Amino acid sequence: MTGSFGSDDRQMTNREVLRSFVRALRYIGPFRNRFLVKFGFLFIGFIAMLFLPFPLRILIDQVILDIPFAEQASRFPTFVQPFVALLEGASRGEILVAVLIAQASLLVLVGAWGISGKEKTEANGGLNNGWDIATKTENEANSGFSEIGGVLGWLDFRWTIKTTQLLNHHYRSQLFSRIQALPMTAFDDERIGDAVYRLMYDTTAIANTCYKILFTPVAAPIHILMIVAVMSETYGSNTPMVYAGLGMLLVAGTLTFPASILIRRFASRSRTTGATTTSSIEEGMSNMVVVQSLGGEKREHARFSRDSEASFRQFRYRQLAIYAAILAGVAAGSFLVIFFFRYVSEGIIEGRFSPGDYAVLASYFGVIAGSSIDIGTIWIDLQTEATGLQRVSELLDAPAETDRPDAITLPRIQRGVAVEAVDFAYEPGTPTLRGISFEAKVGEVTAFVGPAGAGKTTAVHLIPRFHVPDSGSVRVDGVDIAGVAMNTLREQIAFVFQETVLFDTTIEQNIRMGRPEASETEIRHAARIAGADEFIARLPEGYQTRLGHAGGKLSVGQRQRLSIARALVREAPILILDEPTSALDPETEQRLTEALREASRDRVVIVIAHRLSTVRDADQILFMEEGRIIEKGNHAELIRNPSGAYRHFVELQTRGVA
């Protein structure tokens, strides 16, 4: 099965990437006000960064070198002037104290006092406990960050983390509801892990992309412009230095492409080997009984050890590729830094700048260069998110089970179900059902019999619309179920699946799932009929026993009984049982068969069974083979045909017992 939301590991085209970003921007919609406030915090940070180098410049020029404010070669920008005005005429000692106070205030307010990144902190709540994807995405899902620290940075952090979480929650919930609405053919066990991955890990790409798309391309140029404006006010124009800073954009832009291709190749290998390791251990653990009972421990050990080692090696290769990229980047970027350094040094030697100006210019150059690198790498940076975004979008777009707009409410079923000439194929070309027709009336038990793989399960799945026929129709009381609101249809069906599914809640809650408003007496009654009451009573906590994952320690038969009880308590007019008795002992089965007979008085009962004892009393027996119904009738009728398939089936079972 190709599945309705499978995507392979192929590379996305740039166009697709771009489209997914445009889409991500739309995702911001409900949260735009929160994003606006976040922008506000960002600009407060920018202004702080603009102010930051000046106290240090005053320390160097006015306090240490004793240059009077008036003789300074360069001016102070407007927003620093009020501070300077305070200091004019003060002694060097007084200026020192004032500057220290200013720095301390900046520290408390925005968590920075010096000029470089080292003397600044950021309110970033990322945890740090391994290199695994779960931690990484947990950090992303709760990404709270700020460009600044101190009180403002803390507020910013709080605001951001809440925004991220609101966004993630919003889209996770949407995705979850979408997954629940997917047709059942979209799910086999392999896809479950994939869906969990999309839901828990890929959704974080939305918030991440939103931040990256909005902040770097919009905010970084604004930041650069602000700095250019302040510099031209302070120093006249400093075009060469600005160009040198912007040159980083070029370096980053040209280098990241080849580097990212290299790194991506290694990263993808690293991921693949990682996945191999995980699945090899997962298999070993899930099949522990087999491993232990067949003595496979040594082999499992060797397999795991080898896979794990390989994944580590691939990770190291990836790391080496990253180092190579870093070295290349540093080599290229160092020319620009050298240019800046010489430019400023010469300015100081020529007397255009004071020594204190070095602090200011170095800080500003750092910002221009850093922002340029951000802009230059944004495309590559976003690529990593694009895959996640696409995987999320795919799922949001996957065809879901939906009602037609004119879907009607199905009234309580009175007569029965009719399947008319239905064809159905999971995969085109290999039909599972071929033109099957049957009727199952209220008041009758209909039994499906036939060899494994004949299509019995698929046939009964048509009734709750788990599968939609390729041709033909399914009618309930004469109404085609394709035009019926799905909820009103499924409300009237109780289904017992071949493979029992229980949830990690109490026994009572598991049964109650059939009908949430059922009373305790009704639940016990259903359990008694299903033959579950006895073993439940033996459990120390009885009906309140928590089952553990997938039914935990209950035996197959016990689990089957619980799922039968769940169906019985539903009291739905249609009851479908897919091999309900395969793991039951004859006594329980006998009781259940009687209960079914009893229940069928005012219901449609459809049962798939292998055992004669379950089938014998059915009002109608449908014998299926290779997707067709080849015999139809009750036991007495069918048994009369000496060469009939059903008779053959009965003979095999009874041979020698009597």
Which 481-510 positions form the footprint of other proteins (CB under 8 A)? 487, 490-491, 493-495, 497-499, 501-504
Residue numbers 25-64 binding other proteins by CB under 8 A: 59-60, 63-64
Which region, judged by CB under 8 A, interacts with other proteins, from 9-17, 167-175, 373-381, 440-448?
167-175
Residue whose CB is less far from other proteins, 19 or 616: 616
- Say how far apart CA 636 and CA 638 lie, in whole Å: 6
CA torsion 548→551→553→557, rounded to 10°?
A: 160
Please spell the DSSP secondary structure of 565-618, one letter per residue.
HHHHHH--SEEEEESTTTTS-HHHHHHHHHHHHHHGGGSEEEEE-S-HHHHTT-
598 binds other proteins (CB under 8 A): no
107 binds other proteins (CB under 8 A): yes
Q: 499: which 2 tokens?
A: 């493979």
Residue whose CB is less far from other proteins, 436 or 494: 494
Q: Are 587 and 613 in contact (CB under 8 A)?
A: no
Q: How many residues bind other proteins (CB under 8 A)?
A: 182
Closest-CA residue to 285 (of 271, 301, 308)? 301
Q: Are 573 and 412 in contact (CB under 8 A)?
A: yes
Residue whose CB is less far from other proteins, 82 or 516: 516
Residue whose CB is less far from other proteins, 157 or 266: 157
Residue 629's contacts (CB-CB under 8 Å, 6 or more residues apart) are 436, 437, 438, 622, 623
SS3 sequence of 242-265: HHHHHHHHHHHHHHHHHHHHHHHH
Strands (E), 351-482: 416-424, 433-441, 444-449, 471-476, 479-480
- Say how far apart CA 656 and CA 79 lie, in whole Å: 103
CB 312, min distance to other proteins, A = 4
Residue numbers 354-383 binding other proteins by CB under 8 A: 355, 358
- Say how far apart CA 126 and CA 135 lie, in whole Å: 9
- Say how far apart CA 601 and CA 619 lie, in whole Å: 12
Residue whose CB is less far from other proteins, 18 or 107: 107
Residue numbers 626-655 binding other proteins by CB under 8 A: 635-636, 639, 647-655
352 binds other proteins (CB under 8 A): no
Q: Are 518 and 512 in contact (CB under 8 A)?
A: yes
Quick one: which of 34, 341, 352, 435 contacts other proteins (CB under 8 A)? Answer: 341
CB 363, min distance to other proteins, A = 15
Residue whose CB is less far from other proteins, 261 or 331: 331
Max CA distance (Å), the chain = 121
Which region, judged by CB under 8 A, interacts with other proteins, from 12-20, 187-195, 216-224, 232-240?
187-195
Quick one: which of 34, 269, 616, 628 contacts other proteins (CB under 8 A)? Answer: 616
Task: Show the site string, 272-311: x = touches other proteins by CB under 8 A, - = not.
Answer: ------xx-xxxxxxxxxxxxxxxxx-xxx--xx--xx--
Q: Are 425 and 431 in contact (CB under 8 A)?
A: yes
CB 84, min distance to other proteins, A = 18
Quick one: which of 19, 75, 136, 158 contacts other proteins (CB under 8 A)? Answer: 158
Rounded to whole angstroms, what are the CA distances from 532 to 488, 505, 524?
29, 17, 9
Which region, judged by CB under 8 A, interacts with other proteins, from 10-18, 71-79, 82-90, 334-342?
334-342
Task: Show the site string, 209-248: x = touches other proteins by CB under 8 A, - = not.
Answer: ----------------------------------------
Which region, judged by CB under 8 A, interacts with other proteins, from 29-37, 78-86, 112-120, 371-379?
112-120
Q: Which amino acid is at 556?
A: V
CB 251, min distance to other proteins, A = 15
Q: Which amino acid is at 55?
A: P
Quick one: which of 25, 37, 65, 86 contacts other proteins (CB under 8 A)? Answer: 65
Residue whose CB is less far from other proteins, 169 or 404: 169
Q: 346: which 2 tokens?
A: 């010469």
Closest-CA residue to 571 (of 541, 549, 602, 613)? 602
Quick one: which of 51, 211, 315, 364 contacts other proteins (CB under 8 A)? Answer: 315
134 binds other proteins (CB under 8 A): yes
Residues of the chain by 3-state class (helix, strand, coil), percent to 5 = 65, 10, 25
Residue whose CB is less far from other proteins, 21 or 649: 649
- Say how far apart CA 331 and CA 505 lie, in whole Å: 60
Quick one: which of 90, 181, 396, 479 contacts other proteins (CB under 8 A)? Answer: 181
Residue 354's contacts (CB-CB under 8 Å, 6 or more residues apart) are 57, 60, 61, 65, 67, 72, 73, 74, 348
Quick one: which of 428, 452, 478, 517 contacts other proteins (CB under 8 A)? Answer: 452
Quick one: which of 8, 9, 71, 587 contacts other proteins (CB under 8 A)? Answer: 587
400 binds other proteins (CB under 8 A): no
Q: Are 438 and 462 in contact (CB under 8 A)?
A: no
Quick one: which of 37, 85, 86, 104 contacts other proteins (CB under 8 A)? Answer: 104
Residue whose CB is less far from other proteins, 138 or 477: 138
CB 604, min distance to other proteins, A = 15
| H/E stretch holding 629 | strand 628-633
Residue whose CB is less far from other proteins, 68 or 355: 355
Question: What are the φ and ψ backbone dihedral angles of 577, each rounded to 5 degrees?
Answer: -125, 120
Quick one: which of 362, 370, 466, 525 contacts other proteins (CB under 8 A)? Answer: 466
Quick one: which of 37, 225, 320, 537 contacts other proteins (CB under 8 A)? Answer: 320
Task: Show the site string, 530-569: x = touches other proteins by CB under 8 A, - = not.
Answer: -x---x--xxx-------xxx-xxxxxxx-xx-x--x---
Quick one: which of 169, 265, 412, 546 contacts other proteins (CB under 8 A)? Answer: 169
Reduced to 3 states (helix: H, G, I; strand: E, B; else coil), residue 430 is: strand
- Say how far apart CA 137 and CA 388 lie, in whole Å: 11
Residue whose CB is less far from other proteins, 226 or 328: 328
